[in-house]
Amino acid sequence: MPSDSRARSCRVVVIDDNYDDVRTTALYLQSMGHKVDYAINGYAGLDVAMRFRPDVVFVDLRLPDVDGATVAREIRNEPRLRSVRVFAITGSVQQEDWDRALEAGCEQVFIKPVDPDVLIALLDSM
């Protein structure tokens, strides 16, 4: 149930190649009152973002077709998506992965598994 203190519902895209993770995250965010779409690879994620016009994108850094940093960079280069806030989600603890994500335009990097309440708190702060 959405919190009464929530200022607004966010439009969110979740991109992750683990179907269970992406679906569970999407369903949880929807249950909290957000409008959510998802994709299981980077190119599909870019297509979803172009069509859905999200406020926020959560993108896994290690995707099978194109890495999450490239997805973030493509979002940043698309004039219609420049205001989208992009956050990386990864199982990687390698600093170079994190640096590449931040350089590509991700605002923050979260380590998997991300506590869903952390994502909700982030969205509530927007």
pLDDT for position 5 = 47
The model's pTM is 0.92
pLDDT for position 7 = 54
Q: Which amino acid is at 65?
A: D
pLDDT in tens, 74-106: 999 999 998 999 999 999 888 999 999 999 999
What does the alpha-carbon distance between residue 24 and residue 36 come to, in Å, rounded to a whole number? Answer: 11
Query: Which CATH number is 11-124 given?
Result: 3.40.50.2300
What's the whole-number mean pLDDT along residues 102-113? 95
Q: Which amino acid is at 55?
A: D
pLDDT for position 86 = 98
What are the domain boundaries of the chain?
Answer: 11-124
The phi, psi pair for 14, rounded to 5°, reads: -115, 125
